[in-house]
Amino acid sequence: MGGKYYVRGLFLTVLLLGALLLTVACSVATGSADISPLAALRVMASHLPGLSHLAGAHQNRQIDVIIMEIRFPRVMLAFFVGAALAVAGAALQGLLRNPLAEPYTIGVSAGASVGAAVMIIIFRHGTFLGNAGLPLAAFVGALITALAVYRIAQVDGYLAVETLILSGVIMNSFMSAVLSYLLTVAGQNLQQIVFWLMGNLSLRGSEYFIYTIPLLVVGILAICLYGRDLNLLTFGDETAGQLGLPVEWTKGIILLLSTLITGVAVALAGTVGFVGLIIPHLVRLVLGPDHRVLVPVSAMTGGIFLIWADTLARTVVAPVELPVGVVTAFLGAPFFVYLMRTRKKNGY
């Protein structure tokens, strides 16, 4: 059994890395400037240490700029946002033992939206934070809301899963009301807010994205390490405790990490929907519910999925760009319906 396990793990790793490479190459090559995927790969590889000879003397400086400064950062942003949302979704579905849970269940998206809307309306002339103001406001909004959700759900130091979902719903509707109010008074800023709400990977320059990568990477890897703990938590808090898990502490850590990476993702890309909901489902459908596999594979799949979605978003009606949230929802909703219809009898 051990051997089988390793073979499968190796196969999955190779498969997913290959898919990622292919996806990145295709996505980077796609756009108004005509570049082949192979050429795109060669340009990117030439920037790796020790591979600069690949660039060749004839390498076009303009193509190099397009790829390395415009398209590649955006693809990376899409990858990490997708990975973070999918991981948070997988973790929360297991933790809350609820297939409808997603990163936004705990109020993160509503909070981030309000934070962003406040920033756009009140500080429309900019703050000393410059371009970093908007993502920062969204992140703060997300954190405050999530903390409020936990605070409401916690009774006598015990965080009940059912109460957590409920308080998430409550906070979400409360924040939606606040957002509706803000939208009403937004005036000329309305379009900008709505565009942000639909999720978009083009708004943020790469300058602060760089600083958030370590946060996302650490968060994702840490959750991956909690795979077995998540497996135990699916049995319910009591049983998990009786199997040797310090339940409240573990739940706290996983919630904190999920909130953190979701908050960063939302701050960077707005509320991109459906990735956190359907990617874990898809992976579970194929590979089973073991979170030690589910979480890392969801990360890769979510990242790859969002790269494709973003590539579609910026090409289908070019030169106009669709918000990426529109594409994910467009692909995600029918797929989710399909899953529901076929898997209902077997549980999830």
Residues near another protein, by CB under 8 A: 1-2, 5, 94, 97-99, 225, 228, 231-232, 234-236, 238-239, 241-247, 284, 288-290, 346-348
Burial class (CB in 10 A: 0-12, 13-18, 19+), 215: middle
158 forms bridges with which residues in the sheet? 155
Residue 231 or 328 with smaller CB distance to another protein: 231
Smallest gap from Cβ 92 to another protein, in A, equals 13
Smallest separation, CB 93 to another protein (Å): 9
**Which lies closer to another protein via its Cβ, residue 241 or residue 252?**
241
**Can you tell me whether residue 244 is helix, strand or coil?**
coil
How far is residue 146 CA from its own chain's centroid? 16
CB of residue 172 to another protein, shortest distance in Å: 22
**CA dihedral over 237, 242, 245, 247, signed as positive or negative:** positive
We find the least distance from the C-beta atom of residue 168 to another protein, in angstroms, to be 18
Minimum Å gap between C-beta 6 and another protein is 9
- What minimum distance in Å lies between the beta carbon of 289 and another protein? 4
The whole-angstrom separation of Cα 253 and Cα 209 is 24
Shorter beta-carbon distance to another protein: residue 36 or 239: 239
Closer to another protein by Cβ: residue 161 or 190: 161
Look up residue 59 and give its two tokens: 């390498």
Closest contact distance (angstroms) between CB of 246 and another protein is 5
For residues 99 and 93, is the Cβ–Cβ distance under 8 A? yes
| Smaller CB separation from another protein, 69 or 290 | 290
Give whichever of 50 and 244 is closer to another protein, judged by the CB atom. 244
Q: Which is nearer to another protein, 123 or 235 (CB)?
A: 235
Q: Which is nearer to another protein, 4 or 53 (CB)?
A: 4
d(CA 244, CA 241): 5
C-alpha distances out from residue 99 to 90, 277, 293, 344, Å? 9, 8, 17, 11
Euclidean distance between CA atoms 69 and 81, whole angstroms: 18
Output the six-digit token pair for 36: 């082949």
Cα separation, 141 vs 139, in Å, equals 5
272 DSSP assignment? -
Is 71 or 284 the residue whose CB approaches another protein more closely? 284
Query: Residue 159, SS3?
Result: strand
H or E stretch covering 192: helix 190-197
Q: Measured from the CB of residue 346, what is the shortest distance to another protein in angstroms?
A: 6
Closest to another protein by CB, 180 vs 346, is 346
Go through 43-60 and write b for each residue having 16 or more CB atoms within 10 A of its CB, e for each that does not.
bbebeeeeeeeeeeeeee
CB of 155 to another protein, least distance (A): 12
Q: Look at residues 320, 342, 306 and name the one whose alpha carbon lies nearest to residue 74.
A: 306
Measured from the CB of residue 26, what is the shortest distance to another protein in angstroms?
Answer: 34
CA gap 86, 278 in Å, rounded: 8
Task: State the alpha helices, DSSP H only, in 1-158.
Answer: 2-29, 37-45, 61-65, 72-95, 108-122, 133-153
